[in-house]
Structure 1
Amino acid sequence: MKKDQMPGRRSVLRIAACFGAAATAGLLFTDREATPGKAALPGKAAVPGEGGVAGAAGGPRAAAGPPVKASAYRLQPMTAATPQRYRRALPPVRRRPFDRLSGVGRTMVLTFDDGPDRRYTPGILSTLREYKVPAVFFVCGEMATDNRDLLRQMADDGHVVGNHSWSHPLVTKLPPSGIRDELGRTSEVIEQALGAPPLWYRAPYGAWNRLSFEIGAELGMEPLAWTLDTLDWTEPGVQPIVGRVLEGAAPGVVVLSHDAGGDRSQSVAALRRYLPQLLESGYRFTVPRR
């Protein structure tokens, strides 16, 4: 996707249809202060009868656009930047990202950022498949463009593939054309691989501003942050990651982990330890759906 260029007509029609379906679903999003009227995207729980998402609140050359150098971009996630005023975009436009579930009992969401990476993503997918647990993978375009088979594997296994920008920049420092390029090119790769554009995105470092919310809405995506940071990006060891997840587990929590951006072998090993313990203690897992 070229800079400052909107998606094609078919993508726009598809996005409009998704918003129409979301508006009629009437599920449990509670960001009403930030949204004109009710808006929701359905959630599908891992256990029958449970579902709904609510909340208030992180390469190689692509088919279109110039080459992007793989970034040394994995730094500490930051809190949200102060929103600024820009022109209005297509509704609904959030003022804060969703970051937790509401009213779904002992249900959580697992999310993995920065991939896909052939060294670590397959191990995570294998564990999730073994325990029949869905997750959300927020992928970077520069990683996804040469790993489209992994995107298809994610979708085939029932996971949600979200947009995490192209090169993991600090979005709040980009002009409108830069944000649109980062998000648009990644959505394009996902749509080419899966046949549909992503409906969720996450700002790198958790740094959001009003412009990123507006452009995300223009591209048909809702913002999802997290409740619990595993701190796996610091490579603290397997046990500290496991302990942090088990101690922070609670109804509605959205867990942040990573499957790329560094040595993620600890993240792979930690998932194999904490996931069965959470299931045995009665937790179930869900993902947001269109």
Structure 2
Amino acid sequence: MSSQSLIELIREKSNAQSLQGQSSHPSISHKDIENLSAHTLVKYREIEIMALENNIIPERYVRNLNTFSAGDQIRLLKSSVCVVGLGGLGGIVVEILSRTGIGKLKFIDGDVFEESNLNRQFISTSETIGFSKAREAENRVHKINPSIETQCFDSFLNKDNAQDLLTGTDVVVDCLDNLKTRFLIEQECKSLNIPLVFGAVAGHQGQVMTIFPEDEGLAKIYGHEGALPEKGIELQLGALASCVSVIASMECTEVIKILLKKGNVLRNRLLLVNLWESVFEVIAL
């Protein structure tokens, strides 16, 4: 089927929709995109992109309008993000990015869910204890947004596989609790010229920063890598679900700003969050 014929089918399936305070615009439903994909053998995401290119908004993205343009949504659908660590931060990051419409997501985590994860790790349930975090994250994404292309690596990132696993993504999101692996990710991202979004939580406090390849990055926060313990202070202070959610949301916002080249990213600046004191502070590094 030609592209023009498919566009005509998309137009036939579209319908006018208006939201409160917004003008009417044509949109197309998930079911219609799914049926068109099955009928034409064109990928779901490609149909979404074609619709957006013709100012027809997939209904799942209608509430993104006015914050994102149709062009912005296309850019997100054509983007690739790698999430390293699918626990507390990573599970929420995956949830938000899949609902936002990031076209390709890569998951890296060799761990399985434990009962102690249930307080803050949104993908964990009583039924997923003992199951792979990466696989369950992938399953969750497919249920939320069938247009997303996923790659799942049920393994821990290390010096031997880091370059291969991180290659080919536009942004990497660090959702780990292992300081030495954090420095390894930063090193590989710099080598591959990939921006890195870093986030960490300890108790009711958290921090977020975006690191570009030419930035000094984590050394500004933690000092020299050789003096680091393997785990941070979160083992002593725990991690509250509310704080994990805030930091993960900020990480996702950084990812979106990088991909769309909009807003003021937290580059060479560290966001410090203290929920007990209701304080959000940005410090220059």
The structure where helix makes up a greater share of residues is: 2
Q: TM-score, normalised by structure 2?
A: 0.31
Q: TM-score, normalised by structure 1?
A: 0.30
The structure where strand makes up a greater share of residues is: 2
